[in-house]
Amino acid sequence: MRETADIETASDGYASRFSGPVGAWMLEAQERAVRELLGAPGGATVLDVGGGHGQLALPLAAAGWDVTVLGSDPVCARRIASAVASGRVQFVAGDVLALPFPDRAFDVVVSVRLLPHCGQWPALVAELCRVARRAVIVDYPTFESLNRVAPALFGAKKRLEGNTRTFTLFTHRQIAESFAAAGYMPAARIGEFFLPMVLHRTLRCRPCSAALETICRGLGFTKRWGSPVVARFSRT
């Protein structure tokens, strides 16, 4: 079966989850983590798998990266259409589990908001690694965080957020073993938040959320138990 989870992720409904000051703050944290793991562009090429949401493709292109977005369906390009039309970003439609590119076609491959919604996630990891020349960067929610209680509270979360959906929780070891099978080793890992994102969406107060997370980061909670995690894996 084809994996098409990125169709939802590239929709206006999904984008509404990051609307307003709190949503913008969340996306800033994600972008900051990814850019820290990427380093300077230096004319390097990036493949953003499932990146039709534009959360990374647009800022990375603006920062000087040569960005190609892979979506499972042409509809996934709608939110980045102007960037594609102007040539700032390239878009290719194809199967995320059989990427239409040769081995090592891109310097770095990035994929956010996809892995936890992909039923065949080990196959996705294998493909991300195949087409990357140097490294792969992904995000994932982890059991080793307050997300551990997420399944039990999913009903309440859905009532609060409205358009949430189920997702897979991972251990760091699970993810590392999957990348190791493809010849990649962990290089760096950044936890985005210590407190659950649903709490921040419920508070609807960017200064409050920023202050709470600053305290948690200062106490070392986020480094140890932060989630989602943005992680870089390098080719061995």
From 55, 58, 43, 52, select the one nearest 89 (Cα to Cα): 58
pLDDT at 154: 46
Number of domains in the chain: 1
Q: Name the band, by pLDDT with cuts 50, 70 and 90, for residue 12.
A: very high
Mean pLDDT score, 86-102:
98
Q: What are the C-alpha distances in Å from 86 to residues 80, 127, 136, 194?
A: 10, 28, 27, 38
Q: Are 34 and 57 in contact (CB under 8 A)?
A: no
Residue 165's pLDDT band (boundaries 50, 70, 90)? Answer: low
What are 37's two structure tokens? 């793991």
The pLDDT-based confidence of 146 (bands split at 50, 70, 90) is confident
- 3-state SS of 59-123 is HHHHCCCEEEEEECCHHHHHHHHHHHHHCCEEEEECCCCCCCCCCCCEEEEEECCCHHHCCCHHH
Give the whole-angstrom CA distance, residue 198 versus residue 158.
9
CATH of the domain at 46: 3.40.50.150
Give the model's confidence band at 159: pLDDT under 50 very low, under 70 low, under 90 confident, else very high: low
- The reported pTM is 0.91
pLDDT at 149 over 70: no
- What is the pLDDT at residue 42? 85
- Segment 147-167 mean pLDDT: 59
* Spatial separation of the C-alpha atoms in residues 147 and 170, rounded to whole Å: 10
Read off the pLDDT of each residue in 189-193 and give the average, rounded to a whole number.
Answer: 97
Mean pLDDT calculated for residue range 115-127:
96
Give CA–CA dist 153/146, Å, rounded.
11
pLDDT band for position 129 (cuts 50, 70, 90) = very high
- Closest among 172, 115, 141, 135 to 34, alpha carbons compared: 135
Q: How far apart are CA 164 and CA 150, in angstroms?
A: 12
What the block records as the tokens of 168 is: 């897979």
Q: What is the pLDDT of residues 47-68, one digit of tens each?
A: 999 999 999 999 999 999 999 9
Could you list the residue range(s) of the whole structural domain that residue 195 is in?
5-235
- Interval 194-206: pLDDT, tens: 999 989 999 999 9
H helices, E strands: number in the chain: 11, 7
Q: Is the pLDDT of residue 153 over 80?
A: no
**What is the rounded end-to-end Cα distance, in angstroms, of the chain?**
31
